[in-house]
Amino acid sequence: MYTSYPKIIALCGKGGVGKTSISALVTKILSENNNSRVLAIDADPALGLSIALDMQVKKTVNDIRNQLINEIKDGSKLDKQTLLSRIDYEILDAMAEKQNFAFLGIGRPETEGCYCQINNFLKDLIKEVSLNFDYIVIDGEAGIEQVNRRVLEKVTHLLLISDTSIKGSQIVGSISQVADNTLGPHEKGVLFNRLKPGEEIPDHVQDTNIKILGSLYEDEQIYSFDRQGESLLGLSKGNNLSSLENALAGFGLL
């Protein structure tokens, strides 16, 4: 087990800006950096990151949670130690591995009802598992609350993804404000995606007072891979990968 804590990167932004593709590329870059160990967590219920990374999902964290809840509802008595052991086994069993990274899917939103003990055990064990990695990459939904509540509390780097629209920058600003109130100390920056050739970041975006990490342009190869459901791990070296590497370096991740 590693002695230092991992860098935990949560990617957030409005829908349709390419968070999942960028999450996959960030996983690719970091896992190829000095043989670093990366855990990719898909916190989006659609589980698109599993496709982008060509990972088979046997079960999600929420599947594990629901299974245990159903057992309790059926009258099974699970003491604390038994419950911890079961969850530990199930989390490791749900984790898929490839090359220098592992994958874990969170799944659909939780069923109704308060099962605080199970929820807390799940978060604690995911936190413990994360200590085996140098980086955690979380592909999240639009709001930071979901990432914070359901996965890991100690996000160290909030990577906001946006297009150049006013709505995109407004959502980035809103997520940033929520993160300031819900996360501990963290770095944050915004990466602009899917710019057209020659397009520049507009003034309304530059007024968000969030560090601008860089821009990625429309990429036919990425679009083709995404359209055909191919893994982005096979993406050849190009301008966008180089730009993303520079952005990650500027964010203190390389």
The domain that contains 28 carries what CATH number?
3.40.50.300
Largest distance between two CA atoms of the chain: 64
- 177 inside domain: yes
Please give the pLDDT value at position 32: 92
pLDDT at 84: 80
Amino acid at 127: K
Structural domain contains residue 127: no
List per-residue pLDDT tens for the chain, 254 residues long. Answer: 444 789 999 999 988 899 999 999 999 999 998 889 999 999 887 888 999 999 988 899 888 888 888 888 887 777 778 888 888 888 899 999 987 899 999 887 655 555 566 667 667 777 888 889 999 999 987 666 666 666 667 889 999 999 999 898 888 888 888 888 888 889 999 999 999 988 888 777 666 678 999 999 998 888 888 888 889 998 887 778 999 999 999 999 99
**Is there a domain that residue 245 lies in?**
yes
pLDDT score recorded for residue 229: 82
What pLDDT does residue 3 have?
Answer: 47
pLDDT at 235: 86
Predicted pLDDT at 238: 77
pTM here is 0.90
Question: Tell me, what's the pLDDT at 143?
Answer: 64
Count the Cβ atoms, other than its own, within 10 Å of residue 162: 28
Answer for the pair 10, 39: CB distance below 8 angstroms, yes or no. no
Q: How many CB atoms lie within 10 A of CB 120?
A: 10
pLDDT value of residue 149: 65
Sheet containing 101-105: order of strands = 96-98, 101-105, 38-42, 135-139, 7-12, 157-162, 187-195, 211-217
Query: Is residue 197, in this structure, part of any structural domain at all?
Result: yes
Question: Residue 199: which domain range?
Answer: 7-56+132-250
Residue 61, pLDDT score: 87
Q: Is residue 174 part of a domain?
A: yes
**Residue 229 included in any domain:** yes
pLDDT for res 119: 67
Residues in CB range of 107: below 8 A, 6 or more apart: 45, 47, 60, 61, 62, 63
Note whether residue 76 is domain-resident. Answer: no
In a domain, 46, yes or no: yes
- If one counts the domains in the chain, the total is 1
Element holding 211 (H helix, E strand):
strand 211-217
